[in-house]
Amino acid sequence: MATRAAQKRLTREYKSISENPPPYITAHPSESNILEWHYIITGPEDTPYHDGQYWGTLIFPPNYPFAPPAIRMHTPSGRFQPSSRLCLSISDFHPRSFNPAWEVSTILIGLLSFMTSEEMTTGSVSASETERKYHAARSRWWNSTGGGSHLKADRAAGKGNVKAGDGGHKFKSEWPEVDEQNWKWMKDNKVDAATGNKADNGASCRPQLGIAAGSGHQTHAVVDAVIQQRDAGQGWLFKNKLLLAGGLIFIYVLIARLLGEGGLQG
């Protein structure tokens, strides 16, 4: 339970960050616990995280601001291990270095700054720019479906469950309007809610062979068989067309000569 000082301080900070949110950042405390804050970082331009939606939590100690929060990012990003505590100078890994003058906005700006750097620490990971762009493109899907687990009712979220497998329930409970926007985005962009992949929009103009996906060897075998049937159908005539053409010319010349000789004799 938060102390009166923490309650007062966090209430004031919520008012401040709501009225003047830092660029790319939005945050609020949970309705049931003012010590549990949820944030969303929108990936800045000119970074591999551009337009990604990164959701995480700040869990403040009861004696805040005299001790720092635990910081986690739940959305896969290619920068941090999902839902792992991050070792930063502004996190609970370093309580002695925390400055009580720092606010929620200060902490989240520091997190964003670290995210867009390449510095490594406990809870961070190394990934390529391509991998990070891949996670950014799937971040809205991941947040609102719990990584595609929304179809599995037996994995319904328990209180505090924010990892993949909760069906997106925790995210929806904290960000209902954002969740609604995410589902609309998935529908508009034809994103498969089960996999996070975009559906194939274009119908193929090629004939379908009725072969199950992934059966590459079978596909080649059928194509080879079709080619063989085509060759067999055209058969000897197609392969020996030059010989046939020469024979027809020879017969034509022979007939012409015979007709010519007959005319002279007449």
What are the phi and psi torsion angles at 110 (to 5°)?
-65, -40
How many angstroms separate the CA atoms of 82 and 26, rounded? 19
Contact assessment for residue 43 and residue 50, using Cβ atoms and an 8 Å cutoff: yes
pLDDT of residue 245: 56
Residue range 160-212, pLDDT digits in tens: 455 556 889 999 999 999 999 999 999 999 999 999 999 865 444 444 333 33
DSSP label of 33: E
Give the residues across from 72 on adjacent strands.
57
**Spatial contact of 51 and 42, defined as CB atoms under 8 Å apart:** yes
pLDDT for position 165: 62
Domain 1-198's class?
alpha beta
262 or 21: which carries more pLDDT confidence? 21
Backbone phi, then psi, for 43, in 5-degree steps?
-60, 125
**pLDDT at residue 266 greater than cutoff 60:** no
E-strand ranges in the chain read 25-30, 33-42, 53-59, 70-73
Q: Are the C-beta atoms of residues 24 and 43 closer than 8 Å to each other?
A: yes
- Radius of gyration, CA atoms only, the chain: 34
Taking the domains of the chain in order of start, what are their residue ranges? Answer: 1-198, 216-265
Q: Which of 59, 70, 87, 178 is catalytic?
A: 87
Residues 105-149 have pLDDT tens digits of: 999 999 999 999 999 999 999 999 999 999 999 999 999 999 988
Active site residue 205: no
